[in-house]
Chains A and B, each alone.
Chain A
Amino acid sequence: MLFFSFFKTLVDQEVVVQLKNDIEIKGTLQSVDQFLNLKLDNISCTDEIKYPHLSSVRNIFIRGSTVRYVYLNKNMVDTNLLQDATRREAMSERK
């Protein structure tokens, strides 16, 4: 649940999602579920010329399995806390 927990903190933040088919979509993260499906609002494609079909889309639902990468703003992440959360995850797994 670590990633789910993590992405929940990014709700209402702007992220850039890179899909496995190389499309990069910038948008405000609306919601995320346990499969890491993402809902983005106010999206814009970083390469409008190559992927014009997304220019008329405002919000989008992305199946989690198609996501390759999510670019985040550095200051959205509390790295120390993330380390702790990782430790907790590892601890609970060992139990």
Chain B
Amino acid sequence: MSFFGFDPSMPPKQAQQHSKNNNNSETLDFEETYKGYGEYDQEEGDYLNEETFGGNVELGTDFDFGNGSNQQSQPQQQPSHEQAHRSYVQAASSGVQPTNLDANVDLKPMESLWSGNVNTSSPVPVQIPLQGQPQQQHVLSMEEIERQQRQMQQFNGAPGGPVTNGNNQNAQFMPPQGFMQGQYPGQFIPQQFPNMYHHPGPFYQQGPMAVPPPPPHVQQQSVPPQQVQQVQQQHVQQQHLPPSPQDQNVQTNNSHLPSPMLEHELGKSPQPILRQSQSPMPPTLQELAPQGQTSNQVPIQNQQQQQPSRQQQQRQPMPQQNRREPLSPEEQKRLQIRHAKVEKILKHAGLMTPRDKDFITRYQLSQIVTEDPYNEDFYFQVYKIIQRGGIVGESNKGLIARAYLEHSGHRLGGRYKRADIALQRMQSQVEKAVTVAKERPQKKNEDSLNAGNATGRDGVLGKVSTSMNSKAPRRQLTIPLSTSRSGSTLTDEDGELRRNSTAGALQEVAESLGNVDLNNKTRARRRSSYAFTSIDQNSVLTRSGGRKFVLSLIETVYEEVLELEANLRSGKEINNKELWSALHIDDEVYEVSPYISMLSFDKGVKIMPRIFNFLDKEQKLKLLQTFFSELSHLNIIIISSYKTNPTPTDAQLKKIDLFQTVFLKIIVSFLSNSSNFIEIMSLLLHLIKNNNVSFISTSKIGLNLITVLISRAALIRQDSNRSSVLSTPEISTWNEIYDKLFTALESKIANVFPPKEYIDTIIEVSQPKNVSPATCYYDQAYIWQFLASLALSGKLNHQRIIIDEVRDEIFGTITQAESLKEHLQQEVNSDSNNSTINSDEIMYRREKLYQDLNLFLNVMGLVSRDGEISELK
């Protein structure tokens, strides 16, 4: 504090002295330590004590001590405070000539922080000439300053309130006290500082830049009060008034400026032009001159400007009346607590201007937003859509804005509770951030061009390395892509994989890298050792190009599908040529179509529905034809057949389930939606001609596929019986095909029922551990469905043969159902406690057995109930 005009320009020196003294603590002579302090002539300012301590000033309860307390708690702000305070006294005293520049030198670097915001420092040129004016008649007393401050507070408290020129303040104007009580220390005082930082011109540059160096003491006398006011006004304007602070400054200073001088100054330096260009209000210069010419005009203008604020004042007369009444202790205490709180909250409030905040927000946002969310933020975007059930909700940017708003604590919209405005602003921030993000990749490329050295780029978040960032973090393992392929067969740890190194794999490798043949020797040896191929997956894979080839094909297909889906989302043209060629359906090079081998892998099965979305009908049909004609090679058929895989594992059963739910669904939907009778017949023909039907019928999947085809054909035939759409050649062709199918199955129909051991194995594998074996069973519904659809399409003699062949199974099922009943009764008799849980289950099973059986029997007009078969009525 420098109430006594104590020269704060010395602090560095003093501090040095102090530290010196502290360091050389051996001999502390009082005279020495004190030496120098008392020699300042500021003592002469003693006569100002009265004014300083308010001897002739009215003592209110609202005196501003905020500055003082802030000063103590925030040493980094001290310099600016010091200046502000000193200026009060210096304004009145005439003999002091401190050089106040040094004291603030340490603040100068701050400027560089805001060097980007050239606009904000624009007041510099305006004030430089003005500061030189000798304006002693406008020295302000503490009272006046205080009054102005009060006024400022009023405007702080009243949103949107008008701005007055605090300089020529009318004495009769009294601000409503009510505002001061609540908001006094926090809202006004701290926010003053950023403006000081923000407008460094008058404070830090006045010395070196002042064009005509005025008598120093005069400058000191006249300028500081203005500065204080300017700061205050700028502050207010930034908050409430969009128009330029520069303009206001000019007015302020103008009010006591003789115009010739001003014009002289303006003409002298190029700076006014600069100011003009930066000012949002072009007419500043014109305003400038007339105002300055006669200072008499200024009060009028001031009064006009004060008009609205007076209205405000009238609206709140009560607080004003209470002004003189001292507060009760309770109220004071509450007020104190409140002040303390507000002070704490706002301790650092306003350190950054909204513009700074916007900048930081934008930079932070630019790290997380992207122009193409479906590309870079794929998982999140699609996940959210899936969660919402396919409905695209709020836009991505809106979401980010909302989320960010929430995190930044501005969701309430600040002081004016304008949450909508806050959101709007944040949204515009996001928009800007996206543009920033757009520019980033280019920079990255530039950097990568500048050799591999990871030269950092300075960002708001510190030094940002370009080679490594959140988008491309450092990798634990860097795998060179080029060499991975040549060693493919060698690096495979899986023994199974090695078996693939036969002709197909060789071919693939030769294709991919024609010049690398160093592994040929080992491959040849391996091929000889695995020359015999059984009916296992590997042989199939081998014949369709090798496991690696198939896997890479699947990945290619995935990529094509992803690409197509991205195009679909963005509304681009869809071209499935690449996808179709990746499927290798027409490819005759391989013994087994690679497409069939793709279905050996779960991921190959899972992608199928998405492939179907992008195929036209011809392609779908072609695909299914290939599928049905090579059904015997299909891994899933081999797995699900009890003949080739009598002891399926849990994983295999899951695979079967997956295939059933995914692929069968596609086929069914294709058949029922878009296929005609001939197409179905052709598919069936493909199946019969190229495959061992009786083998396929031993597998669950195979049987299901046949069932789907013939039941669909039967449905169409039934429909067309009424409308007689089918031509006679079509029907005769169908009969032919059916006969073929039946002949292939005849005498082996009973084989569709898996043997008991197989069923037991499946039950054992698939049953959950905590369920008793009695409740587990093998669902044979698919078999009865097959028999039913087979019988439905056949003639009477066909049906007779079917019944003959599966008679044992029919009666076996009836017996099983009846035994369940007995079992149930026994259990009820033996222990009545536990049976209730099981009895429902068993009853349900019994019902289901009859239901499944009746699927088939009903086709022939029969029904079985309670152990007997009767005619369906």
Contact = CB atoms under 8 A, between A and B. Distances in A.
B388 to A, nearest CB: 12
Contacts of A34: 367-368, 470-471
Interface string A9-49: 10000000000000000000001011110000000000000
A2 interface: yes
B463 interface: no
Contact of A9 (B383, B471, B558, B559): B383
Given A34-B367, A92-B376, A4 B470 contact: yes
A5 B367 contact: no
A92 B309 CA distance: 60
Nearest to A36: B470
Nearest to A88: B378
A56 interface: no
A82 B407 CA distance: 27
Interface string A58-70: 0000000000000
A83 B603 contact: yes
Nearest to B563: A91
A9 B379 contact: yes
Given A34-B470, A83-B603, A5 B562 contact: no
Contacts of A2: 379
A21 to B, nearest CB: 20
A20 to B, nearest CB: 15
B641 interface: no
Interface string B375-399: 1111111111010000000000000
Given A4-B470, A9-B384, A91 B562 contact: yes
B559 A87 contact: yes
Interface string B601-616: 0010010000000000
Contacts of B381: 5
Interface string B535-565: 0000000000000000000010011001100
B843 interface: no
Given A9-B379, A31-B403, A34-B470, A78 B386 contact: yes
A55 B375 CA distance: 41
A78 B381 CA distance: 12
Given A31-B407, A34-B367, A87-B558, A1 B376 contact: yes
Contacts of B597: none
B370 interface: yes
Contacts of B606: 80
Contacts of B386: 78, 81
A81 B384 CA distance: 11
Contacts of B555: 87
A84 B383 contact: no
Contacts of B470: 1, 4, 34-36
Interface in B347-406: 367-368, 370, 375-384, 386, 403
A85 B682 CA distance: 39
A5 B378 CA distance: 7
Interface residues of B, number: 25
Contacts of B403: 31
A1 B370 CA distance: 10
Contacts of A88: 375, 378, 562
Nearest to B610: A84
From B379, B382, B403, B603, name the one whose CB has the most chain A CB atoms within 10 angstroms: B379
A5 B606 CA distance: 23
A4 B368 contact: yes
Contacts of B368: 4, 33-34
Q: SS class of chain A's interface: helix, strand, loop or mixed? A: helix
Given A31-B407, A87-B555, A81 B377 contact: no
Contacts of B378: 5, 84-85, 88-89
A55 B297 CA distance: 69
A51 interface: no
A9 B399 CA distance: 13
A5 B407 contact: no
Nearest to B404: A31
Given A35-B470, A87-B559, A91-B559, A6 B375 contact: no
B455 to A, nearest CB: 21
B471 A1 contact: yes
Given A87-B555, A87-B562, A82 B375 contact: no
A15 B470 CA distance: 22
From A8, A31, A36, A81, name the one whose CB has the most chain B CB atoms within 10 angstroms: A8
Nearest to A35: B470
A93 B559 CA distance: 13
Contacts of B370: 1
B562 A92 contact: no
Contacts of B380: 5-6, 8-9
Given A34-B367, A34-B368, A34-B471, A81 B379 contact: yes
Given A4-B470, A88-B378, A81 B383 contact: yes
Nearest to B377: A5
Interface in B140-168: none
Given A31-B403, A34-B470, A83-B603, A6 B562 contact: no
A88 B559 CA distance: 8
Contacts of A92: 375-376
Contacts of A33: 367-368
A31 B404 CA distance: 10
A9 B603 CA distance: 23
Contacts of B367: 33-34
A86 to B, nearest CB: 9
A34 B472 CA distance: 11
Nearest to A9: B383
A91 B565 CA distance: 14
Nearest to A93: B472
A32 B40 CA distance: 59
Nearest to B407: A31
Contacts of A83: 603
A80 B378 CA distance: 12
Contacts of A36: 470
A30 B403 CA distance: 10
Contacts of B407: 31
Interface string B465-506: 000001100000000000000000000000000000000000
Contacts of A31: 403, 407
A81 B386 CA distance: 10
A48 B520 CA distance: 61
A33 to B, nearest CB: 7
A89 B471 CA distance: 11
A85 B379 contact: yes
A75 B370 CA distance: 28
A53 to B, nearest CB: 25
A31 B403 CA distance: 9
Contacts of A91: 559, 562-563
A80 B559 CA distance: 14
Interface in B252-305: none
Given A5-B377, A81-B382, 15 more contacts: A1-B376, A1-B377, A1-B470, A4-B377, A5-B376, A5-B379, A9-B380, A31-B407, A34-B368, A36-B470, A81-B383, A82-B379, A87-B555, A87-B558, A92-B376
Interface of B: 367-368, 370, 375-384, 386, 403, 407, 470-471, 555, 558-559, 562-563, 603, 606
17 contacts: A4-B470, A9-B379, A9-B380, A9-B383, A31-B403, A31-B407, A33-B367, A34-B367, A36-B470, A78-B383, A80-B606, A81-B379, A82-B379, A83-B603, A84-B558, A84-B562, A85-B379
Closest CB pairs A-B (n = 9): A85-B379, A34-B470, A5-B380, A5-B379, A85-B378, A9-B383, A8-B380, A5-B377, A88-B378
